[in-house]
């Protein structure tokens, strides 16, 4: 099968043998695919190597010959965002999530769109936490694991003043009994869930309450095996 002039984002690239690269890309029409890019070393291949860096938006031609496609052409569509510090680690987190959760060869145009959005927002350190929560929401939706953020698991409207645990299968479960302060802090506020539903950034405290619950849901779908990026981002305030 030929893939022609396909929009894609580069998720990961690593050397293979002496002159080639193994590349993972998120395409619009074919989902996540693996690519073998042969002979990319040398001064005449500088533009091609630059096009195959993580976060780069490209258009590609390839031939699918099995699990891996043979890359024939890749051209950059813009300049990949130049990130540093926390933003760079957040980009690593986003790419790792997609690599771990998005199946190969399964078209997910909604995920491709969501990736493009979060990629453009990674450089904004002030809005980074909200950008990541939105991407996690959109990733779950694209994979068929999302929730109705306006209703609890029992069908009742979300109460902005209440606290909720996110069950990976059932959705938001309201805290019905009083618990100690530490346990309550680990639960998401209803206001935060409604903010996700409305796609409007909540107050800082509500936004922070989403992080542990979204991570628990993602960990379930990751089969209980965490991400390397969580270890790195865990020490950074406002990370993933």
Decide which of 76, 104, 126 is a domain's last residue: 76
Amino acid 114: pLDDT: 98
222 and 169, same structural domain? yes
Amino acid 83: pLDDT: 95
Is 57 within the bounds of a domain?
yes
Domain with 138, as residue range(s), is: 85-233
Is 240 within the bounds of a domain?
no
Buried/exposed 11-40: b ≥16 CB within 10 Å, e otherwise: bbbeeeeeeebebbbbbbebbbbbbbbeeb
pLDDT tens-digit series, residues 127-143: 999 999 999 999 999 99
Is 110 within the bounds of a domain?
yes
**pTM of the entire predicted model:** 0.92
pLDDT tens-digit series, residues 38-96: 988 776 677 888 899 999 999 999 999 888 999 999 999 999 999 999 999 999 999 99
Is 63 within the bounds of a domain?
yes
Is the C-alpha dihedral spanning 38, 41, 45, 48 positive or negative?
positive
Evaluate if residue 108 carries a pLDDT over 90: yes
Is 239 within the bounds of a domain?
no
Task: Specify the 3-state DSSP secondary structure of 124.
Answer: coil
Give mean pLDDT, residues 172-189.
78
Where residue 235 falls among pLDDT bands split at 50, 70, 90? Answer: low
CB 6 within 8 A of CB 30: yes
CA distance 130 to 208: 9
Evaluate if residue 236 carries a pLDDT over 60: no
105 and 143, same structural domain? yes
Task: Specify the 3-state DSSP secondary structure of 115.
Answer: helix
Helices 128-142 and 204-221 meet at what angle, rounded to 10? 40
CATH assignment of the domain containing 72: 2.40.50.140
Structure tokens at 19: 């002159």
Backbone dihedral angles phi then psi of residue 14, each to the nearest 5 degrees:
-140, 150
205 and 174, same structural domain? yes
Burial of 200 (0-12, 13-18, 19+ CB in 10 A): exposed
Evaluate if residue 102 carries a pLDDT over 50: yes
Structure tokens at 95: 């790419």
């Amino acid at each position: 099968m030929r893939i022609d002039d396909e929009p894609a984002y580069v998720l990961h690239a690593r050397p293979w043998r002496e002159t080639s690269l193994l590349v993972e890309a998120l395409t619009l029409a074919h989902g996540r695919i693996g690519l073998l890019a042969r002979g990319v070393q040398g001064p005449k291949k500088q533009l091609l190597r630059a096009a195959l860096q993580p976060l780069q938006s490209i258009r590609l031609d390839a031939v699918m010959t099995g699990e891996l496609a043979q890359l024939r052409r890749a051209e950059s569509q813009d300049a990949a965002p130049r990130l540093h510090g926390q933003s760079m680690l957040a980009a690593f987190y986003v790419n790792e999530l997609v690599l771990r959760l998005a199946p190969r060869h399964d078209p997910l145009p909604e995920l491709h769109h969501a990736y493009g959005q979060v990629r453009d927002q990674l450089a904004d350190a002030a809005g980074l936490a909200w950008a990541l929560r939105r991407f996690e929401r959109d990733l779950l939706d694209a994979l068929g694991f999302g929730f109705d953020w306006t209703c609890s698991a029992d069908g009742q409207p979300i109460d902005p003043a209440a606290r909720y645990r996110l069950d990976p299968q059932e959705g938001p479960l309201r805290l019905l009994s009083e618990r100690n302060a530490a346990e309550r802090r680990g639960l998401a506020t209803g206001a935060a869930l409604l903010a996700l539903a409305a796609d409007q950034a909540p107050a800082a405290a509500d936004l922070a309450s989403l992080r542990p619950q979204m991570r628990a849901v993602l960990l379930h779908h990751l089969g209980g095996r965490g991400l390397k990026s969580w270890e790195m981002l865990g020490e950074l305030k406002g990370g993933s």
